[in-house]
Amino acid sequence: MPISHYIFSFKFTFVLLVHLIFISNAYTQSPKVSAVLVFGDSTSDPGNNNFISTPFKGNFPPYGRDFPDEKPTGRFTNGLLASDMIARYVGVKDNVPPYLDPSLTVNDLMTGVSFASAGSGFDPLTPTISNVIPLTRQLEYFKEYKTRLAAKLGKAKTMELVNNALYIVSAGTNDFVVNYFTLPVRRQKYTLPGYMDFVLNKEMDFLQSLWNEGARKIGVVGLPPMGCLPIVITLFSDNALLNRGCIDFFSSVGRTYNSMLQTKLNLMQLNNAQQGSRITYLDAYSTLYDVIVSQKYGFKEVKRGCCGTGLLEATILCNPKSITCPDASKYVFWDSIHPTETVYRIFFESTRSVIDYIVKG
């Protein structure tokens, strides 16, 4: 056989091998799921509050200033949320829309939606403060979502889609910052450790209910270092104008709660592992701590938001008349509560390996 034939055969085999490796790596880097379904508060609400009667809205400028077409969608930031980035990463859609958007088609629903509502929390009292959608109601919307899909796809295909979806749950900050620390009702009934147990039990009840409805791949976002939120510094510092450092007491609540949450999630995962479940903690605390306290990423401003003074402005106080910083990517916070798109991206990048683990379950 001519030597040229051996050379051709070798080249063909080599190219085929490289092609197979590329396909394998592509799958490894971007695992496929059926949909992304999101529950929680303003960290994952893409605009559900636009469709309810509440003052907690972000569907006006300067919100969305760096979103495509500078569109204020209802996201409480200047651009994308981490849930949008996760949806892009797993390849289901560019952005996760709000479930309450009446223009959504069945095809839109099939690849995922967010049920989250800014201002919500696990404590049933928390969403009543701002008249937003409780987590229990978000779960009811999810059941309705399944019914709508079943009418189109049938029950078997709907459950297959539901079982193979990626679920993101992000809430809890409002329970402490807006509810327990700001208002007297819960403090009169619960000590701080008692309230942490109360909220954690409500969170675990929600996750169990979600699992009962067919969720098998669940990422649960922990609390941030709450003492570093500009609004917390402003409201609870002795001299908020001069002393803009993080208040460790509030951040320590987040650390303790997150440790308790991880223990509970590990137990839930252990109990459901044989059924192909992945129920895993997503660490927001370390990301924000690295960004704010360790200043690992070199942000210009870590103590106040880009909108207005950055000390108190959020929702209607951050509005078209507000002056904003010229470059939000240099700021950790967009308003006095919510991170910028740049920080959401850092959080997303820090959780990619965990997302990979969840969706391969």
Catalytic status, residue 108: no
Q: Are 114 and 96 in contact (CB under 8 A)?
A: yes
**What whole-number distance in Å separates Cα of residue 271 and Cα of residue 190?**
30
Annotated active-site residue in 117, 175, 336, 338:
338
The CATH code for residues 33-230+246-283+349-359 is 3.40.50
Catalytic status, residue 42: yes
* Beta pairing partners, 339: 333
**Tens-binned pLDDT, residue by residue, of the chain (361 aa):** 554 444 444 444 444 443 433 333 433 344 479 999 999 999 999 999 999 999 999 999 999 999 999 999 999 999 999 999 999 999 999 999 999 999 999 999 999 999 999 999 999 999 999 999 999 999 999 999 999 999 999 999 999 999 999 999 999 999 999 999 999 999 999 999 999 999 999 999 999 999 999 999 999 999 999 999 999 999 999 876 777 899 999 999 999 999 999 999 999 999 887 777 899 999 999 999 999 999 999 999 999 999 999 999 999 999 999 999 999 999 999 999 999 999 999 999 999 999 999 998 5
Give the tokens for residue 214: 């067919």
Residue type, 228: C
Annotated domain spans of the chain:
33-230+246-283+349-359
**What whole-number distance in Å separates Cα of residue 1 and Cα of residue 7?**
11
Largest CA distance in the chain: 91
Q: CA distances (Å), 160 to each of 146, 150, 212, 348, in order?
A: 11, 11, 14, 26
> CB neighbours of 229 closer than 8 A, spacing ≥ 6?
173, 177, 333, 336, 337
Catalytic status, residue 237: no
Q: What residue has token string 């859609």?
A: 93
Model confidence pTM above 0.75: yes
Asked if the bond preceding 62 is cis, omega within 30° of 0, the reply is yes
Annotated active-site residue in 34, 42, 83, 120:
42
> CB neighbours of 322 closer than 8 A, spacing ≥ 6?
62, 307, 308, 313
Helix (H) or strand (E) holding 278: strand 278-282
User: What backbone phi and psi angles, to 5 degrees, belong to 256?
Assistant: -65, -45
Annotated active-site residue in 41, 175, 335, 336:
335
